[in-house]
Amino acid sequence: MNGSMDNQDVNITVNGRSYKRRIEPRLLLSDFIRHGIGLTGTHVGCENGVCGACTVLLDGLATRSCCTLAVQADGRQVETVESLGRINNLSPLQRGFWEMHGLQCGYCTPGMLMLMTELLRENPNPDRDTIRARLNDNICRCTGYEDIVNSVERAVELMRGESSRP
């Protein structure tokens, strides 16, 4: 980040923690998350809004962070994949992906998880068609999607049993 006069002061809350930074206006939200604060769970795929790998939640709404400037998130709440479970305490959605082989290379997975987090908050009991329709947003080049749909259905079962949190 160069010391241009036009850099902007921002305060962006990521996963509940507030980050105050002085940034170039052209900094993408995806790069703010990865390089600015070092949360590398959010992946960058196409950088033109096609693939959805960089999906995060911005004020609760699934958003392509590569098509969003970090300054647009000033004063707002961002949630990334790091806000879900931990390696020894997976969230129901992550557990669903693990049990049902919802990933192979894993590149699209953080975006898939955040996209489905929004869906399961809106609708904790989506049918298969609803899951498939929403998955239209993001591209996976490994799984052929069937296992991802199965993973989300498994997460729905797990949420019914354990807790209502995706």
Partner 1 sequence: MKPPVFDYERPSSLRAALEALSRHGSKAKLLAGGHSLIPMLNMRAIAPARLIDVGRLTELQYIVEEYGQLRIGALTTHNTILRSPVVAANCPIMTEAYAHVANHSIRNRGTFGGNLCHNDPAFEMPLVVTLLGATMIARSTRSTRTIPAERFFKAPFVTDLAVDEMLVEIRVPRLPAGHGYSFVEISQRYGDRALIAAGCLLTLRYGTCRDVRIGFRNAVDNVFRIPAAEAKLEGKAASVSLINEAAEAAADNIQAAGDLHADEAYRRDVTSALARRMLRAACARAGLTIDG
Residue ranges that bind partner 1, judged by CB under 8 A: 4, 6, 8, 24-26, 28, 31, 47-49, 52, 55, 58, 61-64, 66-69, 71-72, 115, 134, 136-137
Q: CB of residue 138 vs partner 1: minimum separation in angstroms?
A: 8
Task: Please state whether 75 falls in left (phi above 0), alpha (psi between -120 and 50) or beta.
Answer: left
Residue 17 phi, psi dihedral angles, 5° rounding: -110, 135
Q: CB of residue 71 vs partner 1: minimum separation in angstroms?
A: 6
Q: Which two tokens stand for residue 84?
A: 């879900």
- Kindly tell me which of 51 and 84 has the beta carbon lying closer to partner 1: 51
C-alpha 86, offset from chain centre: 15
- Kindly tell me which of 64 and 95 has the beta carbon lying closer to partner 1: 64
Helix axes 128-135, 146-161, angle to 10 degrees: 130
- Kindly tell me which of 50 and 98 has the beta carbon lying closer to partner 1: 50
